Structure 1
Amino acid sequence: MSWLSPEEWQAVALSLRVAVWATVVALPLGLFTAYALARWSFPGKQFVNGLVHLPLILPPVVTGYLLLMTFGTRTPVGAFLAEWGIVFAFRWTGAALAAGIMAFPLMVRAMRLSIEAVDPKLEEAAATLGASRVWVFVTVTLPLVLPGVLAGSVLAFAKAMGEFGATITFVSNIPGQTQTLPSAIYAFLQVPGGESSALRLVVVSVVVAMGALLASEWLARRVQRRMS
């Protein structure tokens, strides 16, 4: 990364930080949501399913605006959280929140399809032997859906790395604080002579995305070999 300027490196480092945190925090909730949608029947299931996938349908700017209206420091929720030292608006934590919400539907969909592909009879057989639901999930379901979990996590990471609309609406484009890779590319394209910096960041984006996809494929194949 020595060929990147300090400002460019800041954008790369912040994007990686935002994408990692967005993926890690969304993973438990995404897995729970995917399992609930795949295995449970409950009132309002279709509504929950639609709510989960809503960020894919809404314009990202709308999602960012809704986040700002919810977690802004002058809103009831934002003011309450600020009293506890939790601030999202115009902070990198807000960028992670926006990226996680935009990536959440991709994560849930990949995991849900993987869970639905598991034969429920395998889980029922384990339950008849006295295993609890949690133990059945940990010892039977989770190992079988692990490739799907990895795929969903990588998709979420890649989406979080490339998120722009919701992020810039919610946390603006502050260099060193909220300026992620897409925001930095956009900013460099707005100034004369910034094309070379934008091109370097585009190359970094492509390399990171391809590296994540290749790592996911390698991990998924390794897990499948161990299972077989």
Structure 2
Amino acid sequence: MNKPFLRPESGRLCAARAAFSRRAARVVQFGIAAACVALPLAAFAPAAHAERADNDKPLNIEADNMTYDDLKQVNIFTGHVVATKGTIIIKADRVEVTQDPQGYQYATGTSDGGNLSYFRQKRDGLDEYIEGNAVRIDYDGKQDLTTLTTRAVVRRLVGLTTIQDEVHGSVITYDGQKDFYTAKAGPDVAGPGNPTGRVRAMLAPRNGGAAPLTGAPATLTPSTKMQGTQQP
């Protein structure tokens, strides 16, 4: 196949492209400054997706009890529930499963008391995993979208042994198709040093420096560049 012939750029065109790049850089800086409420992290991760083969795998569930609501067309599992679908794992005190007419499956895991539900999924083509904890975890099999709600934490792991990124928020969503996750602030993640419940994130440099799971937890402190005007 013949390749298109590219003409040399004029000096005026080069200058215009440089000016556009400077404006784009300012837009990116503004987006980072606003990330205290919603924190997209796709730019920090290599190009990949969640394991594509997961959609074709059956959903297997183990639990202490199971009931089927024929009116609502929902299966309800309770007691030490473990649901697996390919590389996807959901653990919770209670899991509700539904299926639409097209065959797409949806699962909602919830936990009570001091327990948190758990989620993990492998990234396609990489020895990396996305895992997280929250009171409630919703998995949308059609969109390959996972939403973690209340006291949510999401980590990107290398080889199941090393934390590469870690994000804390009230609601965190992970889009497996676009390999993109966002976090929102909320009062349920408020605590000492974070009275307003802002999003907290630890992002390891891509040239190394990731924290091993067996080590001490990372100390997260707000960046002075991300802080807005303090409220009285």
**Class of the TM-score when normalised by the shorter of the 2 chains:** under 0.3
User: Normalized against structure 2, the TM-score is what?
Assistant: 0.27
Kindly indicate whether structure 1 or structure 2 has the higher relative contact order, using CA contacts under 8 Å at least 6 residues apart. Answer: 1
Task: Kindly indicate which of the two structures has a greater share of residues assigned to strand.
Answer: 2
Task: Kindly indicate which of the two structures has a greater share of residues assigned to helix.
Answer: 1
